[in-house]
Amino acid sequence: MEKKITDEELLRELSIRFEQNKTALEELRHKSEQLKKVNEKLKESESLKSHFLSNVTNEIVNPFASILGLSQNIMSLRVDNYEKIKPLAQLIHSEAFNLDFQLKNIFAAAKIEAGLAQPELSAVNISSLIESVIESYRYKARQKELKIKFHYQSNTQNGTITGFPTDSEKVKLIISNLLNNSIKYSNAAEKIDVSSFIDDKGALSIVVKDYGKGISSDDKEKLFDRFEKGVESIHSLNEGYGLGLSVTKAYVELLEGEVNVKSEPGKGAEFAIVLPRPDETNFLEGFSDDGNQIFFDDSDEEF
């Protein structure tokens, strides 16, 4: 049986089909773009795998070797040579500090990849947290004659100076990573600006700005991928696994925030993090340590 349709119906049907076609095409284009990218990543990941073992040597074995050697030196010092202890101890400390930092990133990445990185919220004094991180990097900064300036804009209106509800360990690692990168990519005797404030929506902003090498637009795309490190040419000097920013991004997302990067080659880099204030119900219900009690009654569906 043939059904007659009016011109109007025909037109409508046609326009629907055209629309569907357009969406399908759009989707296809999107998919093939993605496929291309994934392909490139696959190639890269092959070469990264082979780098990994040599990385482990550089990043773990070498610092341990120097820690062992330096402490050996201290042990064999004679009593009248004790003034030499301090510089040796400083070297040991900086090697151990680096090692500790790299390991923290590895453990963090492993937890994130295992799906076990649950945030634990508590009221955190942000300015003293940032100050303590900066303090831990003083020695490293001094070696490059870098000045780290910290500016905390307190906003009494929102009354959140001492108690921003967030996960202090995770925020600490986020700031450490940003600061570590700034120091790494700064040229000697430059400065680094760290600032933090609570905006009018109550969200926490942390900005770390350096005036160093900057990031090329090619590198910007891969910035947050794991095992990616900037500026291949300085590879041998470029310590770390390239995990820091991927951990940073995952942590920021976990806290429902955003990372924004502004940078041009040669003009330094600015990393800005915004963490929304978890709303009161979230803080009470969803983010409490012992888990979110969601109340159900008998009228709710059960599966």
Residues 259 and 127: their CA atoms lie apart, in Å, by: 19
Give the binding site for other proteins (CB under 8 A): 27, 34, 37-38, 41-42, 44-45, 109, 112-119, 224-226, 246-247, 249-250, 253-254, 286-288, 290-294, 296, 300-303
User: Residue 265 or residue 286: which is nearer to other proteins going by CB?
Assistant: 286
Nearest to 133 by CA among 91, 111, 165, 104: 104
User: Residue 97 or residue 283: which is nearer to other proteins going by CB?
Assistant: 283
Minimum distance, C-beta of residue 258 to other proteins, in the bound complex (Å)? 10
Query: Which residues fall within 8 angstroms of residue 172, CB to CB, at 6 or more apart?
Result: 129, 132, 133
User: Residue 200 or residue 300: which is nearer to other proteins going by CB?
Assistant: 300
19 SS3 class: helix
8 Å CB contact between 240 and 102? yes
What letter would DSSP give residue 119? -
End-to-end C-alpha distance for the chain, whole angstroms:
45
Minimum distance, C-beta of residue 55 to other proteins, in the bound complex (Å)? 17
Minimum distance, C-beta of residue 303 to other proteins, in the bound complex (Å)? 4
Q: Identify any residues that bridge with 153 across adjacent strands, giving them in sequence order.
A: 197
User: Residue 100 or residue 256: which is nearer to other proteins going by CB?
Assistant: 256
Residues 43 and 201: their CA atoms lie apart, in Å, by: 43
Minimum distance, C-beta of residue 29 to other proteins, in the bound complex (Å)? 12
Query: Which residues fall within 8 angstroms of residue 158, CB to CB, at 6 or more apart?
Result: 198, 200, 202
Minimum distance, C-beta of residue 287 to other proteins, in the bound complex (Å)? 8
User: Residue 232 or residue 300: which is nearer to other proteins going by CB?
Assistant: 300
